[in-house]
Amino acid sequence: MTLANLIMLGLGLTALIIGAVLLMRRGGSEASVYVRRITGTMLGALGIVLVIFAIGLSNMRSVSNA
């Protein structure tokens, strides 16, 4: 795995963790809960996409070297 893939994987995992934390937080007004859910969902989706893309690029590199 190259440095770029590791950075993408790290950013994806970070976004996924922050999204999960935001989704699990409680309290606040109805509007703040709504914003927190949207933000958490978007960060989670970004994290999943980045992780899948980083793993896919890593696998493509190993297939092309074979």
- Tens digits of residue pLDDT in 20-51: 999 998 878 999 999 999 999 999 999 999 99
Q: What is the mean pLDDT of the chain?
A: 90
**Does the pTM of the predicted model rise above 0.75?**
yes
For residue 35, the one-letter residue type is V
Domain count, the chain: 1
Domain coverage including residue 11? 3-65
Q: What is the dihedral of CA 65, 49, 7, 22, to 10 degrees?
A: -160
The structure tokens 């590199």 sit at: 61
Burial class (CB in 10 A: 0-12, 13-18, 19+), 24: exposed
